[in-house]
Amino acid sequence: MLENVVLVHGLWMVGVDMTLLRRRIRQAGFKVYQFSCSTIRNTPAENAQSLQQYLQQQVAGDVVHFVAHSLGGLVLRHLFRQFPEQRPGCVVTLGTPHSGSQVARQLVRYAWGRSILGKSVEQGLIGEVPEWHTKNPLGVIAGNHAFGAGRLICRFEGENDGTIAVAETRLAGMADHIVLPASHTGLIYNKAVASQACLFIKQGYFTHTK
């Protein structure tokens, strides 16, 4: 039986954006599901509750892996805090601001910024997200191709993907971390990212090259 991989999209996305990533993971031998939610109208904690219902109703099998982009990784942190008895499986986050987003913190200073971010900032993009204490191994992929609108909003120190700094993607308790040449949005389209995500799911660590 094929093992399951559930994809969780990021801010302002609906899931169709991850079509290419789904195809590549499916070609690697997994059964792939796409969870979709409103990242503006709902908080990450509320979306975690919806994700738990989706898992119970739609995803069968003894093993469930997750691949989440950006805000989706914060939804997973709420999921594992609220519903810790998840099935065995690995978790991979792509460009998730685990320590909070500098760009989001700048945007919430303005009314228009708070409007476009919606409820994603509540125990989400600006911090106060549950810590990672789970037996499911977490692999973190960050991008360092600095191309994105985030560079117009704040000045990054160090490597970044144009929206999220590499330093912001690190999280205590993660099993492995890798930086790949991709922009923030490009993480879900990059072939090497998909390959490394599948490797982590299969072996519990990334393949690092010098």
Model pLDDT, residue 98: 98
According to CATH, the topology of domain 4-203 is: Rossmann fold (3.40.50)
Closest CA to 175 of 136, 127, 126, 125: 136
Mean pLDDT by 10 residues, the chain (210 residues): 93 94 97 97 98 97 97 98 97 98 92 94 94 96 84 79 96 98 97 98 92
In degrees to the nearest 10, what's the CA dihedral of 26, 58, 48, 80? -70
pTM: 0.95
> What is the Cα–Cα distance from 94 to 202, expressed in whole angstroms?
17
Model pLDDT, residue 146: 84
Domain ranges of the chain: 4-203
**Residue 196, number of CB atoms within 10 A of its CB:** 22
